[in-house]
Structure 1
Amino acid sequence: MFDTVFTTIGSTTQHLKVYNPYDQKVLISSVKLAKAETSNFRLNVNGVSSNEVKNLEIAPFDSLYIFVEVTIDPNGQNLPLVVKDSIEFVTNSNPQDVDLVAWGQDFKLVKGKIPKNTIWTNEKPYLVYTDAYVDSISSLTIQAGTKVYFHKEAGLHVEGRVVAKGTVENPIIFHGDRLETVYSNVPDQWDGISLYPGSKNNEFSNVEIKNANIGLLIGNVGEENSADVTLNNVKIQNMAYAGIFAMESGIKATNCLITNCGYYAVALLVSGNYEFNHSTIANYWPQYGFKTRTTPAVYIANVLNVAKDKKDYVGDIAKADFSNCIITGNVLDNNELYLKVNPDKIFNYKFERCVIQLDKTDVFKTSAQHYLNCFKIRPDSIFVDPYKKFNFELDSLSRAKDTANRTISKLYPTDLKGRDRFLDNGPDIGALERQEKKSK
């Protein structure tokens, strides 16, 4: 059984083993695909690439491997199609067979520069095979329900503007192009989305960005123009490096869930204007064979050194405000927030009614003007199951439950999933509202 694959592109390789359970050798007269050369499938039988192999000997109690690949031709329709065949075995005139089943999805291929003022619709998924570019005089509009898949090392690069507005029921998906279940939570399958300096008025609403290197790379250092983006109901998950990596840019983010990144969930650097409301930033990096994370979930600095022999980049962070947000994770020293300050430059920041994982909370008193009614939490004390099921709904005993600043919550009365924040005892801190019956 093969998971959904893109037409003309091919699939992962599946395999099966053929056993001889007897104490004497067995001669298999033939192994072949039933549809022979007209089949969409391809065989490699014991190291021989052919759709039919004859006279195979298997030694007593031994076995051999058969590897199977599939390529599906486009059908010109919007719905997935199913392709079937079988591997036929003949041993001592006795027939046996193994069924092969694969689903394919037709798609629209994207390579290189996107035409001016393009609209991507939800009729078919898009496959970005190398890179997609939106130049400085162009815009890309993406309709609700659109799925955009990226091949290895591909990305979306924006100098102009991108407007991706999904709905709670029909979100916009940005994923890698490996659709097999085994790849569903593997990072670094594609590069990510880059908003270059001068890229203005970008909007992402009800969008899921998953399994890339950097989810959103915004701006750059040493450029005259900044980039900016508005994020509403956005999930950014499983990034090899960072969820959001912003330099000299502007962000307004609401109801965002940013989780499981190899270095930083959110990094805000050098200068800019940043605002996060009712967002959950939870970096439970599960390693995936990569090294253990030692960097904080949130890193904010008005200074950046790119190389030992180069001059530091410094700038003014006019605003870095977090309201009704969760900042937590599984870093070893329990500090998931780190601020790096150049005292010669502006560094305005504020955390209001936030739940923050810190080893020490002296700053809540010594810098009370920057931490308004914030709470310290311990790791693993806030979500249902952040490790195995990646479930970032609030636990029933979570410190974030019913404790949000109500005035701020009234500005954003529904959560990431469209649920009312005011149906129980009070709005919750973070992007996801745990709805329970009101206490009498």
Structure 2
Amino acid sequence: MMVAACSDEEKYSTTNTDVLTFSVDTLKMDTVFSTIPSSTYSFWVYNRCDASLLINRVALEKGTQGFRVNVDGEYLDGELNGVEVRKGDSLCVFVELTAPKCGQTDVQPIGDCLVFNLSHGKQQKVPLRAHQWDADIHDQWDVNGNVTLDSPCPIIIRKGLHIATGAKLTLRSAQLFFHDGAGIDVEGSLQASECLFRGDRLDAMFDDLPYDRVSGQWKGIVLAPNAKGEWTDCVIRNATDALQLGSNAQATLLRTSVHNSSASGIFSEGAHLALTHCRLTNAGGCCLEAKGGSVTADHCTFAQFYPFSADRGEAFRTIKASVACTHSLMTGYDDLVFSAESSDLHFSHCMIRSDQPLMGDTFTDIVWEATDDEKGGKSHFRLVDETIQSYDFSLLPTSPAYQLGIGDIREKTTSSEP
């Protein structure tokens, strides 16, 4: 028995220059909301030596940060012992994180080290690095009275936010993160200023594609018939239907961006919609579609460069709606980014991408953008990069629209705004 034991030990390297090789120097994880489990990350452990290696012990250096580790199919419960890596072989390590509350309103770094102690005495470490963010988490949030929220802490909505008839929710400088399928249903009134509405995935689908650039991450916002909504200096992005307006609903948007919806950007059915210095960009359906009701738009940009479907809708579409549109830009990939069917249309000092210019009293001082060059629509903007789904719809000073004072000519005001 003792001879056999000696023989077993001799098969492992006793040379302390024989060490493990890791596929990463540091495992870098995304930002996570505190108390919410992260996605799973992984790295490889290789033995590229001429002899087998024995890992006497694998453990987290601190062990109190909320990291969970699985080494080659076995979870780390305090520590693992006697892990063999044969010559030329490898192990896969999986890491997850559920960070405890840190008591801070800002994003905070969090980390640990995964320690490997080899049988010949050598110790190796792989740092685990992430950031955590404390949030107020609501499963279902029902607003039945007048509520004002002015909080630097992000708000996570898992199932939905409902504002009852006669109730009013006022949001100031709030960041709302919605789980898949969750959204806002407004029967009363919603007033938001300097707010962000987006999905709750902080990680990435691929290395170069964060979920925050992927459409359809949450349901969107619905104004029921006769409900009211006001958005000032807000960003609404990556929803399914970002904003749906019922009959006689009233929606006012000022300096607000609606970006990257998998269905409609704004869909209005018999509602009254007012847009000033707004950007409605990239939708699987139309960036704006209004059936009946009324639409006023001044100094707005409607840009349709949605990359995920060739069946995307138009940048601007109205049917039987009363429309007054001034100093606004309508452009995109396609020849047809604009249509308006009504006897009550007024377009003035606009730039519209179309190979079929429309004449008459309805259209005055219109610049018709040629459609024979796909790059023509893109050339207005600071960034249109379909390969990584990255966009900045601020107008370039070289853009004819900018020079004529057409469209939303504001500079990009926040890192959250497309």
Q: Same fold (TM over 0.5)?
A: yes
Deviation per residue, 1:360-408 (Å, 9 max, x gap): 22x2x3xx222211112243332232225412222343221332xxxxx
Note closer, same or farther for the CA distance 1:123–1:384 as it changes in structure 2 (3 Å cut): closer
Letter in 2 for 1:47: G
Match of 2:80 in 1: 53
Match of 1:121 in 2: 150
Give, in angstroms, the shift of residue 70 of structure 1: 0.8
Deviation per residue, 1:8-35 (Å, 9 max, x gap): 1122222211122234443333322223
Distance 1:161 1:360 in 2: 41
CA contact (8 A) 2:65 2:99 kept: no
Letter in 2 for 1:254: T
Q: Tell me, yes or no, if structure 1 residue 275 matches structure 2 residue 296.
A: yes
Identity rate of aligned residues, in percent? 29
Q: CA RMSD in A?
A: 2.1
Distance 1:434 1:8 in 2: 37
SS in 2 for 1:328: strand
Deviation per residue, 1:417-439 (Å, 9 max, x gap): xxxxxxxxxxx10112479xxxx
- What TM-score comes out, normalization by structure 1 length? 0.78
Letter in 2 for 1:299: R
Structure 2 residues not aligned, in runs of 5+: 1-27, 205-209, 371-376, 413-418
Distance 1:132 1:19 in 2: 49
Match of 1:338 in 2: 339
CA contact (8 A) 1:286 1:387 kept: no
Note closer, same or farther for the CA distance 1:94–1:118 as it changes in structure 2 (3 Å cut): same
Letter in 1 for 2:150: T
SS in 1 for 2:378: coil
Q: Tell me, yes or no, if structure 1 residue 350 matches structure 2 residue 350.
A: no
CA contact (8 A) 2:280 2:302 kept: yes
Match of 1:415 in 2: none
For these two proteins, the number of residue pairs brought into alignment is 368
Distance 2:410 2:230 in 1: 23
Q: Tell me, yes or no, if structure 1 residue 300 matches structure 2 residue 318.
A: yes
Give, in angstroms, the shift of residue 336 of structure 1: 0.4
Match of 2:368 in 1: 376
Structure 1 residues not aligned, in runs of 5+: 166-170, 220-224, 303-316, 404-427, 436-440
Distance 2:222 2:234 in 1: 15
Note closer, same or farther for the CA distance 1:77–1:396 as it changes in structure 2 (3 Å cut): closer
SS in 2 for 1:149: strand
Q: Match for 1:40 among 66, 70, 75?
A: 66
CA contact (8 A) 1:284 1:387 kept: no
Q: Tell me, yes or no, if structure 1 residue 180 matches structure 2 residue 203.
A: yes
Letter in 2 for 1:177: D
Note closer, same or farther for the CA distance 1:123–1:387 as it changes in structure 2 (3 Å cut): closer
Match of 1:327 in 2: 330
Distance 1:352 1:267 in 2: 19
Decide which structure has the larger Cα Rg and report it. Answer: 2
Letter in 2 for 1:392: F
Note closer, same or farther for the CA distance 1:433–1:132 as it changes in structure 2 (3 Å cut): closer
Match of 1:285 in 2: 306
SS in 2 for 1:213: coil
Letter in 1 for 2:409: L
Match of 1:422 in 2: none
CA contact (8 A) 1:33 1:39 kept: no
